[in-house]
Amino acid sequence: MYDYLIVGAGLFGAVFAHEMSKKGKTCLVIDKRSHIGGNVYTENVEGINVHQYGAHIFHTSNKKIWDYVNSFVEFNRYTNSPVARYKDELYNLPFNMNTFNKLWGVVTPCEAKKKIDEQIKEAGIDNPTNLEEQALSLIGKDIYEKLVKGYTEKQWGKRATELPAFIIKRLPVRMTYDNNYFNDSYQGIPIGGYTKMIEKMLDGITVELGKDYLDNKEEYNSIADKIVYTGMIDEYYDYCYGELEYRSLRFETEVMDIDNYQGNAVVNYTEYEVPYTRIIEHKHFEYGIGEKTVITREYPASWKRGDEPYYPMNDEKNNALYAKYKALADKDDKVVFGGRLGMYKYYDMHNVIEAALETVESLSENN
């Protein structure tokens, strides 16, 4: 018998298993994939740590979480400064003075603000009813059409006029010449890749890969006092109330016989006609200097059963459906749900770690 069976060897599962093992609890971690790490898994290709499930840049303002991850592996000083490509024009993200200078030739924050205010006034939208109107009322026509519209439509698989306004509550506009995407106090990439960090977390813990919990649910339930489940909550309950919606992704990764393809780790493609949303050049996350490079094109995709779910669609309809599953989970003393899929919520990595630590603390207090 184990104290905990942890379903999923991703970030939530690894942190939970590590902390509970430190408290003397016995843990078995299983994962249906052939590797640990979940979506933060990195694989070494040509000496480059490739982010197999999309770019993962760690950032947080929580010093406790930053110190925690650095206790497993050292992080480098990587700063996320993506570039947006619209046709053959390149713009800095988030929208800042470099962006505005390229768009309009303005030099000072006053000039940039005046231009944005003019375009918001021209749009004349007081009560936005969809995402397009919301964006136009926040940043005006030029930024919206070149840098928001196409990218957003590709990401969500719908035209901006069909998307609800609440998806964009605000758009980051910075009146400084600063290309740092995040405002957090700490950010970086684990030196040697995220897999190295997860390996350290799971050191000394029994891990079984290629094992699908749902295929042998009764057997697995019989060998542990509690189940920590980080998969889809609706799938766990056999979709009894219906399917929650997700967006998925598809990746095309290519090794290239050149040392530098695009000069930046992340380049967003904001034209609707370009089918992928961004190209990741992995070596730039760790300042690689080898003779080859590895790039990944990222294609948004609709989700159906059997596909990998990436982004919960947290609109009113889906949140109401999740609440029904959550009510089931609250009555279940055997299982604890965690992570992005188990809690049906978009989480950054630091949020996942914080949630896992809080779950450990809560369970420890109650036992």
Q: Which two tokens stand for residue 175?
A: 């009146």
| Cα distances (angstroms) measured from residue 228 to each of 14, 34, 70, 159, 212 | 11, 19, 25, 38, 14
Residue 339 has pLDDT above 80, yes or no: yes
Residue 166 has pLDDT above 90, yes or no: no
Pair 28, 35: CB distance under 8 Å: no
Q: Tell me, what's the pLDDT at 288?
A: 95
Indicate if the alpha-carbon torsion angle 21, 60, 83, 346 is positive or negative: positive
User: Residues 1-48: pLDDT tens digits?
Assistant: 999 999 999 999 999 999 999 999 999 999 999 999 999 999 999 999
Pair 46, 290: CB distance under 8 Å: yes
Pair 320, 297: CB distance under 8 Å: no
Q: Tell me, what's the pLDDT at 146?
A: 97
Which is the catalytic residue, given 88, 170, 218, 305? 170
At 366, is the pLDDT very low, low, confident or very high (cuts 50, 70, 90)?
A: confident
170 counts as catalytic: yes
User: Residues 262-300: pLDDT tens digits?
Assistant: 999 999 999 999 999 999 999 999 999 999 999 999 999
Which is the catalytic residue, given 186, 278, 281, 286? 278
278 counts as catalytic: yes
Least confident of 41-55, 111-125, 158-172: 158-172
Residue 316 has pLDDT above 90, yes or no: no
Pairing of strands 246-256, 293-302: antiparallel
Which is the catalytic residue, given 19, 78, 144, 174? 174
Q: Which two tokens stand for residue 158?
A: 């719908």
Residue 94: asked if its preceding bond is cis (omega within 30°), the reply is yes
Average per-residue pLDDT in the chain?
A: 96
Which is the catalytic residue, given 122, 252, 346, 358? 346
159 counts as catalytic: no
User: Residues 91-113: pLDDT tens digits?
Assistant: 999 999 999 999 999 999 999 99
At 59, is the pLDDT very low, low, confident or very high (cuts 50, 70, 90)?
A: very high
298 counts as catalytic: yes
Which is the catalytic residue, given 153, 234, 286, 298? 298
305 counts as catalytic: no
Pair 261, 12: CB distance under 8 Å: no
Taking residues 290-312, report their average pLDDT.
94
